Structure 1
Amino acid sequence: MWVMHAPVIVAGEALIDIVVSRTGEAEHVGGSPANVAIGLSRLDHPAQLACHIGTDERGQRIEKHLAGENVGLFPGSTNAERTPTATALLGPDGAATYAFKITWEFDPQLNVPAGVHFHTGSIAAVLQPGGDGVRDVIARIHDESTISYDPNARPQLMGHPEDVQARVDELVSLSDVVKASDEDIEWIYPGEQLEDVLHKWSDLGVSVAVATRGGKGALVLVQNQLHSVSLPEVEVVDTVGAGDSFMSGILSGLLDEGLLGGPDARERLRAADWPQIQPCVARGLACAAITVARAGANPPRRVELAD
């Protein structure tokens, strides 16, 4: 196992989740990219978050929360007029639906050191004007850093599938690892089979393409071979943050194996076979299973994992 972990920069939204359930209403720090950064930090990987929050009370709460999780806040991340919010309505089965109040800007000249791993996704990759900035940064750093991407579709903000499919494909083509839920894939690519989408992503250059399937686990395409992996049995409290925990978990495994970082890591990732990738996927599923077994986006720490 590789000892030196590449540092990780996560680009995307941090916001306040207003969770409304049968028992009342509560506010928590959230945002898919913020959750991934926190998940990575809890798994002992140095992570920074480049986001767009305000200096209001909610923004200060996010800053304090990230600091408490040892997640660095990238310079220029506190220029928003107000800190964004997402209201999560929890149904009887624990699944969440969202309503957003968010603006997104991102500096296309963001200074990203060579050899880091860069992760993005969700709202930040498509919502303008910041979406173009994220795309421009990824295109600029692509030859020097590995990239991961989670489309994490938000129809309330993204419009119709045809409005975002070209951008999703563009970002996929710049990425080494792509993960999306089956629901996201069905929305972005209506009428297409999960397996066909994963093969499409592989043809665009992705080394590890993953479709998570809720309680059914995940489909993973590696070296043009499709693998089905089961999720550990668990009693679900709610699904908030489960996909983000999976993302941080699989990235953690790949980082531990020295498969993410600079150009040499990319070549190792491209050459990696299923026996190398399977434990990384298993870590992602283990992280997701722990997260759904407790309330809210609460990813595990490394000491909670069996491996």
Structure 2
Amino acid sequence: MSLTQVTVLGECVADAFPAGSPEPGGLTLRVLPGGGPANTAVALARLGTRTRFLGRISHDAFGSLFRAHFDASGVDLVTCVDAAEPSTLAVTTLDDAGRAGYSFHAEGSADWQWSATELTADRIGDAACLHTGSLALVRGPGAEHVEKLLAALPETVTVSIDPNVRAALVDPAVYRARMPHWCALADIVKLSDDDLEYIHPGEPAERVCDAWHAAGVRLVVVTRGPLGALVSVDGVRAQIPVLAAEVVDTVGAGDSFTAGLLHRLGSEGLLGGRLKALSLERAVEAAAFASRVAALTCSVAGANPPWARDLAAFNP
């Protein structure tokens, strides 16, 4: 078990998948626990990192589903807020390649209602790293308080951000405007090539990475699906290949990649500050491990990340 604690701040989302074809008068949905930050917290805990989830969890039926999922995976919920508002719901559809599309039902839901009195620095515990992103960084009124928390953290806490753009809910221009500020607050930015295209359409990834490094972030990782991933440390870059694995769907794959990256960095003693000891070689090793975690997640339905024991038996 890793001694490093990572606190993950953000939302839980009930992912509803159509179960079979519509029938006269109704459609059956299968609901699974999801949400980018929640998926990352679960994956981290299953890999063996001490993990705290900091979120606002509803008392509705979906909230009970989230709590049971976190408990079964070993995630610490001690500083979560018990919220009166409803949970966020996303109806999920899959294309022929297993890639997910989402229709969100999020207005007035619990995840975004942070107040200054609820979101205080003591809630992150003895974390060496705080990871956040996705809708938590852009949905008001809570987004403002999330940013203030990041700005108030001591330099002994590594800050990790995954923008995880949800263009159906938030104009990508919002992410584009906020990224320089987030890069000034963060030590790690991980995102997908789809996210990058939303934020900086048509721009080469290398040029964007350099701009973000100039803003302050040390490590940028861009996942590229079947093309692998780009790893950039202060402008020095490397590509890592994708692992061959049977793809059932890609739900939660990016979140599992983030968890694998943070878990490996933590196990190497690199979390807990400004990543001063991080080299490109060590970043590539962490990203290669993260690719294994993501590949296993793609091999099963839904956001169901692997346990550490599953990795030992995985031979792609």
Q: Which runs of 5+ in 1 are unaligned?
A: none
Residue among 234, 241, 246 paired with 2:257? 246
Q: 1:173 maps to what in 2?
A: 184
SS of the residue corresponding to residue 57 of structure 2 reads coil
Matched, 1:299 2:305: yes
> Any residues of structure 2 matched to 1:1-307 within 5 Å, and which?
5-20=3-18, 25-102=29-106, 103=109, 104-106=112-114, 107-111=118-122, 112-113=124-125, 115-159=127-171, 161-261=172-272, 263=273, 266=274, 269-306=275-312
Assess, with a 3 A threshold, how the Cα gap between structure 1 residues 114 and 70 changes in structure 2: closer, same or farther: closer
CA RMSD of aligned residues (A): 1.8
How far residue 218 of structure 1 moved from its aligned partner, in angstroms, is 0.2
In structure 1, how many angstroms separate the alpha carbons of the residues matched to 2:127 and 2:249? 36
Work out whether residues 122 and 150 of structure 1, in 8 Å CA contact, stay in contact via their aligned partners in 2. Answer: yes
Work out whether residues 87 and 99 of structure 1, in 8 Å CA contact, stay in contact via their aligned partners in 2. Answer: yes
Assess, with a 3 A threshold, how the Cα gap between structure 1 residues 234 and 118 changes in structure 2: closer, same or farther: same
Work out whether residues 42 and 301 of structure 1, in 8 Å CA contact, stay in contact via their aligned partners in 2. Answer: yes
SS of the residue corresponding to residue 295 of structure 2 reads helix
How far residue 231 of structure 1 moved from its aligned partner, in angstroms, is 0.9
Give the % identical residues: 37
Size of the aligned set, in residue pairs, is 299
How far residue 206 of structure 1 moved from its aligned partner, in angstroms, is 1.5
Assess, with a 3 A threshold, how the Cα gap between structure 1 residues 248 and 76 changes in structure 2: closer, same or farther: closer
How far residue 61 of structure 1 moved from its aligned partner, in angstroms, is 1.6
Assess, with a 3 A threshold, how the Cα gap between structure 1 residues 170 and 223 changes in structure 2: closer, same or farther: closer
Moved more, 236-245 or 75-84: 75-84
Assess, with a 3 A threshold, how the Cα gap between structure 1 residues 214 and 114 changes in structure 2: closer, same or farther: same
Moved more, 114-123 or 292-301: 114-123
Kindly provide the CA deviation profile for residues 35-85 of structure 1, in whole angstroms up to 9, marking residues without a partner as x: 000000001011111112211121112112111111112434221411111
Q: Which runs of 5+ in 2 are unaligned?
A: 22-27
Assess, with a 3 A threshold, how the Cα gap between structure 1 residues 250 and 126 changes in structure 2: closer, same or farther: same
TM-score, normalization: structure 2?
0.89
In structure 2, how many angstroms separate the alpha carbons of the residues matched to 1:90 and 1:201? 32
SS of the residue corresponding to residue 196 of structure 2 reads helix
How far residue 115 of structure 1 moved from its aligned partner, in angstroms, is 5.0
In structure 2, how many angstroms separate the alpha carbons of the residues matched to 1:175 and 1:221? 14
Assess, with a 3 A threshold, how the Cα gap between structure 1 residues 43 and 76 changes in structure 2: closer, same or farther: closer
SS of the residue corresponding to residue 19 of structure 1 reads strand
Give the partner amino acid of 1:299: P
In structure 2, how many angstroms separate the alpha carbons of the residues matched to 1:175 and 1:142? 12
TM-score, normalization: structure 1?
0.92
Assess, with a 3 A threshold, how the Cα gap between structure 1 residues 80 and 216 changes in structure 2: closer, same or farther: farther
Work out whether residues 21 and 89 of structure 1, in 8 Å CA contact, stay in contact via their aligned partners in 2. Answer: no
SS of the residue corresponding to residue 212 of structure 2 reads helix
